Amino acid sequence: NAGVMQNPRHLVRRRGQEARLRCSPMKGHSHVYWYRQLPEEGLKFMVYLQKENIIDESGMPKERFSAEFPKEGPSILRIQQVVRGDSAAYFCASSGSAPGELFFGEGSRLTVL
């Protein structure tokens, strides 16, 4: 049973370009959570999604960032017009509907030149 899959694992973008990070949850999981970890800092919650719905986006920056979890396919975190401060590791986690643990992916590391 494959775990949470994130890709790409590493992404390099120049300032002003777009970054798209993908997350496939564990089989049977319909809840996805995105976290950001800046260098040498802790994990910060960004957004929580269920299939086709955003449940909580209280941690998302107001501009340039968006997330979706379509009926079919992976969840996508999209960052438009990236800036150097967006350089970070972005982690996706998934869970089932019942209370329980979060399963995290290996992360996508974005570097903005």
Site for other proteins, rule CB under 8 A: 4, 31, 33, 35, 42-45, 48, 50, 55-56, 91, 93, 95, 99-107
State in angstroms the smallest separation of the CB of 111 from other proteins: 14
Report the residue number, 82 or 94, with the smaller CB distance to other proteins. Answer: 94
Report the residue number, 8 or 16, with the smaller CB distance to other proteins. Answer: 8
State in angstroms the smallest separation of the CB of 22 from other proteins: 15
State in angstroms the smallest separation of the CB of 1 from other proteins: 15
Q: Which long-range contacts (CB under 8 A, 24 or more apart) does 35-41 make?
A: 35/90, 35/91, 35/92, 35/93, 36/88, 36/89, 36/90, 36/91, 37/88, 37/89, 37/90, 37/91, 37/107, 38/87, 38/88, 39/87, 39/88
